Amino acid sequence: MRRAAVVLLVWGLWLAVLTGVQAVFAPKLIQFAIPAVASAACVLVGLVVWALDIRQEQVDGPRLITDSSVATIALVVGVAVALIGAGFGLWLILIGVGIMALGLGGVVREQRERSRELRREGLR
Amino acid sequence: MPNTAHAYEHVEGIYLPIAVGVFVLVLGTLLVLLIGGARRRTPGRRSQALVLETAYACVLAAVVAFLLWVTFTAETPIDRTSAHPGVRIKVIAAQWSWRFIYSDGVSIADVDTWHPRPAYVPTGSEVEFVGSSEDVIHGFWVPGLHYQRQFVPGYTTRFDLLFQTRGYYGGECSVLCGEDHSEMHFAIRAVSPQRFAVWLAHEAARQGVSS
Amino acid sequence: MNAVAMPARVASRTLASSDHKRIAGAACMVAFAFFLAGGLLALLMRSQLAADGGVVSQQTYNELFTMHGSTMVYLVIVPVALAVGLYFVPLQVGAAEIAGPRVALAGLWMLLCGGVSMWSGFLTSGGAAAASWWGFDPLSDSIHSPGSGMELWIFGVMLATLGQILWAGCILSTALRRRAPGMTLMRMPVFTWTMVVTCVMVVFGFPALLLALGLLWAQRHFGDVLVDGAGAVDYQALFWFYGHPVVYVMFFPFVGMVGEVLATFSSRRFFGYSAFVVALLAFAGLSMTVWAHHMYTFGVLSNKYFALTSTALIVPAGIEYFDFLATLWRGRLRFTTSFLFALGFLVQFLVGGLTGVILASPPLDYGLNMSYFVVAHFHYTIFAGSAFGLFAGIYYWFPKITGAMLRERLGKLHFVLMVIGTNVTFFPMFILGAEGMTRRIARYPASTGWQGLNILETAGSVVIALSVLVFMWNMLVSLRDRREAGDDPWGAQTLEWATSSPPPRHNFHELPPIRSYAPLLDLREAREEVGV
């Protein structure tokens, strides 16, 4: 995983170098700031990945695969309705938030069931 | 003198042949490989050539440097504006027509923008345009001189155009600006400096303005 | 590798499934529906231009090209590019499933909700959004684009884009954390590498669009956010920081497909793998720094810097083309439909790429910007180019996804019609642009003499429509009257061909040894040496 971090770090630095070249051409602030932020973000993510040293997920035994999730759909539709509601009125936002809450509750329920199933199958 | 038409034709004269040449080269190589491969029985095993590819990358970088040199040398003069232009014309764009205002107050504006009254300019010296917009972004494009600039509301856009030959130059709004975007044409007529002076005086008298 | 699947409690498995294969399949179907809708808009536009006005009103025409461009970018090509990665990256790296399956499902529904939102604009009294697919300020503000069509567009694009960012996260995480034992980074297949690079651009480039749209929405509702002058520049600076990487997101995955197809049907491994990976990474980084070449004619930003980075793209692009051609070198070639589409990509994308180099030069762009020359350029890269790469991938991977082979004769007819259609439609646009025809106009003066070429282009678009119908017919026939494909009908090289067609829920029963980026080819070559 450290090698993946290196890819991100090198790429972020490449972006930073290209941004730096702008200095020769009297850049305006906006054209400099945007790629500077993006390259900083990339280097930061690379550093985080390096520091966490997240190992590859090596699975030796069986693993559990979720099959479906209607709750996820409810969550997304709720977000969509709430977002569109921002242009049409508070009533729509509230409906969207309501659907989101249902969805979120469903996702939590699915997670609990998943843990139960894992324990039952002796995978934990 | 910044000559946008000349800059375009000069750069195009180098870029276009190179582009066509590269296309023909790649197509030719492809055809040779396809004809060869169609008859082959056993495929080759070699799958790396790092030295060759590095050398090739260096050649490409040299081509890039050459193209940039051509572009930069052609661009620098036309990005500049002259300190002493021959004529200065304010151009105001608004949904959906153009207004040309000369220094002495003469103004040319036309509602019928498909056959607009032309604004006159003299040949042989820079004409400085000072452009602005009253509402949304409009594009001032003179295809005959291969040049355009976007008029952004809140900014004043200054540029010089040189009309070498006399004649009629059509102009269009090149940036989407709403419902009648297709209707927003303008026209420029380039005449000899003497004829221009006569026209300007005549227009000033007709419109009742004085310098 | 065994797995326990939890029973599904809902009737509809397809749209609620967290199986990356089903999600990707559903996404492709949604995107294809939007492709047909966007294509219909294009046919309407072409009728208007051939008839030189009179088919629709000016305002409606503005809505047509806005929704055509928006649909093709936000709802078709980007989603399909990511969806193919969603399907095949886990398979190519030997993973049992995608990382974050419910996040991937969320992405699918964001695409659906986003698309519905955008298209709902047509149902409002003010019509759909009409400020182009860029939605640029001040044309898109509340004074110049009042009405809910623009609001629905803004939210629709935000949702679709957010979904795409989520997908990119899933794919990246899978490639970085779920690779099978033995698959180092430098043994990932060519297509997977193009997807990794694509997803990095999505993650670090797409948020700029969300920010631009957020600012636009705030400007519409509160004002004084995008202040005159600087505001308009800032919006487009942010938009194009997304807007250039997005066209590479619409390019790299198809480059990867073409790479796999060329290698398979040349019966040899991809040439120059390491150089290709380095070129990809350099290319993607550069592509994040070229974006203001869309703003040369503002005369406000540093044109020369962006000319430098834009022209420098020639270097990695040239390396990639070298590797494509070298893969064909001394190959034993098999001219399947998939292979033909890959060749079509090579030739036609090049036209788009070379005209891109022309537009990268400010003195030339000053003369050609916003004209039909640009329209031709990007249709050659995205449609005559990337879409051909997509069809190469479709004809290649359809047997793996469905277990049935597509008909070769119909496929070749599809190919020929599409070559004719794309070139007849888009090549004359270079000429019209050079003659001074602006883009986004609903009509033009008869005295220009442009009608002849416009009629020709419209004829070409009808041929394109025919080719799409042939393709749809091919899919129908091939699924109804199945010719079973088996695990590996092509004699291919990468891991997705080491499992059944279609793959089981958990992708693999067992994996072959992984010693390079072409594990199945290694196995075949080892057997040949032993004389099996």
Contact C1 A24 (CB under 8 A): no
Contact C155 A87 (CB under 8 A): yes
What is the model's pTM?
0.94
Range of the structural domain that residue B39 is part of: 4-79
C315 part of a folded domain? yes
pLDDT digits (tens, 9 = 90+) for C101-154: 999 999 999 999 999 999 999 999 989 999 999 999 899 999 999 989 999 999
pLDDT digits (tens, 9 = 90+) for B112-167: 677 888 999 999 999 999 999 999 999 999 999 999 999 999 999 999 999 999 99
Quote the CA–CA distance of A21 and A32 in Å, as a whole number: 10
Q: Could you give the 3-state DSSP secondary structure of residue B167?
A: strand
Residues 401-460 of C with CB under 8 A from B: 435-436, 438, 440-445
Same domain, B171 and B92: yes
Size of interface B-C (CB pairs under 8 A): 238
Q: What are phi and psi of B161, to 5 degrees?
A: -125, 145
**Looking at residue B186, which CATH number applies to its domain?**
2.60.40.420
Sheet with B87-94: list strands edge to edge.
B107-109, B97-102, B87-94, B126-133, B157-162
| Contact of chains A and B by CB distance (3 or more pairs under 8 angstroms) | no
C82 part of a folded domain? yes
Among B33, B35, B41, B132, the residue to mutate for chain C (most C Cβ within 10 A):
B33
Q: What is the mean pLDDT of chain B?
A: 92
Quote the pLDDT of residue C175: 94
Q: Map out the domains of chain A as residue ranges.
A: 2-52, 70-120
Contact C96 A65 (CB under 8 A): yes
Q: What is the mean pLDDT of chain C?
A: 94
Residues 155-174 of B with CB under 8 A from C: 155, 157, 159, 170, 172-174
For A68, the closest of C8, C154, C285 (CB atoms) is: C8
DSSP C343-396: HHHHHHHHHHHHHHHHHTSHHHHHHHTTBHHHHHHHHHHIIIIIIHHHHHHHHH
Quote the pLDDT of residue B115: 81
**Looking at residue C329, which CATH number applies to its domain?**
1.20.210.10
Same domain, B120 and B146: yes
Contact A80 C114 (CB under 8 A): yes
For C328, the closest of B10, B34, B48 (CB atoms) is: B34
Which of B79, B96, B118 marks a domain boundary?
Answer: B79
| Residue C8, pLDDT above cutoff 50 | no
| Residue A57, pLDDT above cutoff 70 | no
| Contact of chains A and C by CB distance (3 or more pairs under 8 angstroms) | yes
Cβ contacts of C301 on chain A, cutoff 8 Å: 27-28, 30-31
C10 part of a folded domain? no
Same domain, B69 and B100: no
Structure tokens at C256: 């990867």
Residue pair C487/C464 in contact (Cβ under 8 Å)? The answer is: no
| Residue C9, pLDDT above cutoff 50 | no
Q: Which of B207-211, C185-189, C304-308, C323-327 has the lowest mean pLDDT?
A: B207-211
| Residue C45, pLDDT above cutoff 70 | yes
C294 part of a folded domain? yes
Model confidence band, residue C10 (pLDDT cutoffs 50, 70, 90): very low
Quote the CA–CA distance of A89 and C311 in Å, as a whole number: 48
Quote the pLDDT of residue C330: 87
The interface predicted TM-score (ipTM) is: 0.95
Same domain, B45 and B66: yes
Contact C288 A73 (CB under 8 A): no
Q: Does B181 touch chain C (CB under 8 A)?
A: yes
Mean pLDDT confidence for A97-117: 89
| Residue B189, pLDDT above cutoff 50 | yes
Quote the pLDDT of residue B81: 85
Number of domains in chain B: 2
Q: Which residues contact C144 (CB under 8 A, 6 or more apart)?
A: B135, B136, B178, C131, C138
| Residue B193, pLDDT above cutoff 50 | yes
Cβ contacts of B160 on chain C, cutoff 8 Å: none
Same domain, B47 and B74: yes
Closest residue on chain C to A26 (Cα)? C302
pLDDT digits (tens, 9 = 90+) for C65-83: 999 999 999 999 999 999 9
Number of domains in chain C: 1
Quote the pLDDT of residue C11: 42
Quote the pLDDT of residue A56: 60
